[in-house]
Amino acid sequence: MEVKSLVITGYGINCEEEVAAAYRLAGAIPEIVHLNDIFSGKVDIHSFHIINFPGGFSFGDDIASGKVLANKIKFQKLPDNSTLLDQLKKVLAEKKYILGICNGFQVLTRLGLLPNISGKFEQEVSLAHNIQGKFIDEWVTLKVPNAATPFIADMDTVELPIRHGEGRLIVLDEKIKHAVIDEKLNCLIYANNPNGSMLDCAGLTDRTGQVFGLMPHPEAFLSVYNHPDWGRRKKQGTINENGDGLKIFKNIVEAIPKNPL
């Protein structure tokens, strides 16, 4: 079965080509689509297995990262008078998947898709300014404490780059915090917390494992040659030809049920 992956772009999203390349390398068929083509009804998101919100600076992060885009998804009407959020809920009911990376992760939290403890798609966490008060651009080591989502199945640690000014997870209240811990939704954590994120959180999933959001950029480490230390590591034999990030995309492509759309 051909796995079809929708890669959303527009309004300042700027990592769509890298995400599409990741899916091609993982064996899927990606299609980059501007959000306007979804809002107009030209493209039906239900014809895809995976919906992707890549990184970037949607609407210039002028209010808060992902806030304006999330509001458009919540409130702008499609031709059938539903909203894109309504359609994303249907995507999940169809047992399909949603991935948000960096700015895309911020959008998913503001939409209430992550962690969605209440099941009501209400915002329960946010990604605020880094505790240092500045943009961070560096490589980080991440731990995978559990495989609560197929995106990170069979992974223990992963090394990826981060590029964000607002990546510090904050949680609405203690009830939400304990639910995230108890249900193991904090599925990707920083080995050395670079931004002050609560729970050392670098990525969250929902209870179903169908929605996954992370601040680091897996699409930026698809090949050994993306790593700044690739030369020395390759000589030492401590790194293979594939970058750590590619595994995340291969995981989800392999996890798609063998059922036609």
Residues taking part in catalysis: 102, 217, 219
Cα diameter, the chain: 58
The residue written with tokens 């990030």 in the block is 245
With H, G, I as helix, E, B as strand and everything else as coil, classify residue 205: strand
Cα-to-chain-centroid distance, residue 201: 13
CA 235/CA 231 separation, integer angstroms: 6
- 157, β-bridge pairs: 143
CA 211/CA 118 separation, integer angstroms: 15
CA 123/CA 3 separation, integer angstroms: 30
Buried b (16+ CB within 10 A) or exposed e, 115-129: bbbeeebeebbbbbb
With H, G, I as helix, E, B as strand and everything else as coil, classify residue 87: helix
